[in-house]
Every structure is written in C-alpha cells, then in structure tokens.
Amino acid sequence: MRQNSGRETGRISPQIIFEDSNLLVLDKPSHLVVLPTSHYPDLEKTLAGFVFEHLGISIKNIGKENRFGFVHRLDRDTSGVILVAKTSEFWEFLVKQFEEHKVSKTYQALVWGDFDSQKILFHFDTPMYQSTSSLRIQVEDEWLVIRSFLDRNPSNTQQFTVSQTGGEAITQIKKLQSFQFLTPTKKFEPMSFLEIKPLTGRTHQIRVHLKALGYPVAGDWLYGGRKKFRWVKERGLDHQFLHAQKIEVPTPTGKSMIFEALMPVDLKMLLERCALAPIKILG
C-alpha cells in the first residue's frame, strides 16, 4: 500500500499523508520539534501540539506519558515522514517492528564532497585506522555501510560523536549524483546527493556518520561548520539538507505500507541550482 502527500508547499504546517483508526502519518516540516523540550516547552509550537489538536486528549499518553503516540522522532530541522500510533496496542506493535529492524526508512541528503564509496573504504579500512577507531566501513553492492557506537560529545553536549561506548548505529549510504560548483573565491567545490537508510535510530545518527566520513550535510550548523552553513543560508536554505523521504512499515496482516513525503520546496530549489549540470557555477 502506498500513500503520498501529493503536495509541494512551503512546509509552513504539517501535512497529513495518511490516517486510519490505528495510524496517523505526517509530513513534518523543518523548524519544528516533535515533542516539547526544555528549549521548546510550548506544546502549541511542536508537532505534538498539531497531533493533540487533531486527535484530542486521548492521544497524549499513547505509548508513554506525554508521548502523543510518536513511535520515532525526527530532528527539529529534518523534514519528512513520521508515524503516530493512535492506540496503545498499535503503538506497541510498531515499537516491536522498529526493535526488530523490520521498518525501512529512506532519507535524502545533500553533502559536501564527492562521495566515493571505494575511496572511503580505502581510506578507513587500514590496519592502523582500524586499531584506533570504532568506525567500521564496508561496501555491500552499491551501498556503503557504516557501523559504530554513538555517544554524547563530552566537549559539546549538543553533539553526538563516534565513540567506543554508547548505542550501536548502522547506516547505509548510496550516492545518487555528484557535481561541483565555483565558489566566490574561484575554487571548485564538490557536493553529492545521497540516499540513506539508517538501520538503527540513534539521535543525529545520519549527521554524525556523514561528518565522521568527512562529508557533512549541507546546511548543518551543528556538524558542518559555520562557514559552509552561511554559504547555504545565502542561497535560501537556513537548515540542514536532510529529508525523511520514505518509510515502509509492516502491518498486523503481514502486508507492508509505504508512505512518502515530497521534497520540500527550499531543498528542491537548492538542489536544482546545484545539480542542473555536472559542473554548475553558482555566484
């Protein structure tokens, strides 16, 4: 079963992709946190507030107290598909599917650098590197597979980092397109458009793994550097280029449901400006 939001709006408010008696599927815009936090305490300014307004008080404690039925999360500045269980029974079912790695998530990202799986493997897969790092790299068919542990960065608690401790994180990455542009300093700078499948769901997992490989997400102020963030912002994008494009989830009947969210306008415009030709000059 496949459902699509079918809209290409400015992503000012969430869009409902699909809804039945058990499940609500939303297309989350960027600049919107999923659940209230100490930094974003106002429920009305969160995705949970949208869900609360749509479904009422009964959704508040589905799953866990003040969980609002959310089975997983997206970062504040990541757009795309997110699932909300409308009953406790279906929440437990979905959580089990995530725990057993039966849910397939697909992201799209624009990153700095010409992403080359074989070159990455050659760089990281050396005895000296493997003896000092917890990052493990493999190439399986057309996918680069990254395995590591992720933990809080002790020098910056806003960040996570590849570590010898923490939660296991596995990410699959495939390059869809690469191109280069001419910067204002007359230097050619490569970028790559990627398809990414996180096999686990750690906080900031995709962003941390890409940074660890040396290919930070464009527009990511936390992991990509302030200078490059300014370059992206000057071209109309004020957040990271990371979009949860598709999710495939099993159902109790054994069938799978596939939900997709179209790329937001601001991401699409930046990608089109960069990718019109193998070499694109941007002033």
- Break the chain into its structural domains and give their ranges: 2-100+247-262, 107-240+272-281
Pairing of the two strands 279-281 and 104-112: unpaired
Distance CA 270, CA 158 (A): 27
Look at phi and psi of residue 251 and say left if phi exceeds 0, alpha if psi is from -120 to 50, else beta: beta
Pairing of the two strands 167-182 and 143-153: antiparallel
Considering 75, 77, 220, 266, which one is annotated as catalytic? 75
What residues have CB less than 8 Å from 185, skipping those under 6 apart? none
Q: Which helix (H) or strand (E) holds 106?
A: strand 104-112
Pairing of the two strands 2-4 and 15-19: unpaired
CB atoms under 10 Å from CB of 238, counted, come to 14
Reading the block at residue 84, the tokens are: 């909300």
CATH number, domain 2-100+247-262: 3.30.2350.10
Known catalytic residue at 77: no
Reading the block at residue 151, the tokens are: 């933990």
Q: 254-259 long-range CB contacts below 8 Å, 24 or more apart? A: 255/1, 256/1, 257/1, 257/2, 257/3, 257/18, 257/23, 258/1, 258/2, 258/3, 259/2, 259/3, 259/4, 259/17, 259/18, 259/25, 259/81, 259/83
pLDDT in tens, the chain (283 residues): 444 443 443 446 899 999 999 999 999 999 999 999 888 999 999 999 999 999 999 999 998 888 999 999 999 999 999 999 999 999 999 999 999 999 999 999 999 999 999 889 888 876 655 545 688 999 998 999 999 999 999 989 889 999 999 999 999 999 999 888 766 666 778 899 999 999 999 999 999 999 999 999 999 989 987 777 887 888 788 999 999 999 999 999 989 999 999 999 999 888 877 754 443 433 3
